[in-house]
Amino acid sequence: MRTRIRVGTRASQLALAQTNQVIEELRRVVPGLKFDVISFRTEGDRMHDGRSVEKKDMFTKEIEEALIENKIDIAIHSMKDLTVDLSPGITIAAVPKRANPHDVLISREKRRFMQLPAGSRIGTSSPRRRSQLLAARGDLDFVDIRGNVETRLRKLTSGAYDAIILAAAGLERLHLEHEATEILPTNLMLPAIGQGALAVQSRNSDEEIIKLFTKIDHSITRREIEAERAFGKKLGGNCRTPIAAYAKSYSSKLTIEGMIASLDGRMLVRGRVTSDNPKSIQVGEELASSLLDKGAEALLEKM
């Protein structure tokens, strides 16, 4: 059996923390493994001119190419960065147990979302976050923000924003969860598809690696993620389309909530499906179909 594994990841502090988490999890069940971590600066990481992210694979493409070219053995990504269609020749070998999937508000003056004064500047570049929060409060000023977690926190402290929105999982993995003012409930803010989960990719042909990483695959998380990704795939859209989904498994039942909205938050179509269908992909597709029937198709045509 292979004893040394080449791991590809982004070079950010958060990506490296996530990678180390996966490595330590596998070491606990397979002692003695050695890892060579190879970091990449992706197209998304190289953007310095403030442009919006226009392609879903901007944070994964270079790493996936290295995997296909056998320069690395596995790639570790945030699940929400993956396209709904994987690159040919690549599979998700493991989905470790999901961390906190929610978004959090971090307020400079420690005010909760509904306590923020009208006109407060909220830092977020996510159409999903912006549209849902605009639907709740159209009196706030949503402003783009760039950079990694630490950079965004510094911008908040400097007074550039009154509050920012970040993923809870990222804060927790960087041991910065104390910064959060409020965990946003799902009735206000549904998370991104796959948020809080990690994906360990390998080549389809690498049976040894696939068998090895099944040891840290969390079947419940995988089931939930499959439903969310199927929902997103059925709806289509792109990385600028405000789409969200959150699935939760309870015994034999799977519940998934999803939404699609206009960019200004004035139109928002939301729904929920609970099913005991063991095929989670079909459950996600069922929810997407119900939203299309409720008017999601008209929203997609406008984007």
CA 8 to chain centre: 18
Tokens representing 165 are 């929105």
Distance CA 292, CA 286 (A): 10
Identify the three-state secondary structure at position 153: helix
CA 98 to chain centre: 11
Distance CA 297, CA 260 (A): 10
Q: What is the largest CA-CA distance in the chain?
A: 61
Contact 140, 134 (CB under 8 A): yes
Contact 168, 196 (CB under 8 A): yes
217 is catalytic: no
Q: Which of 36, 45, 57, 81 is catalytic?
A: 81
Q: How many Cβ atoms are within 10 Å of 69's Cβ, its own excluded?
A: 9
Name the residues annotated as catalytic. 81
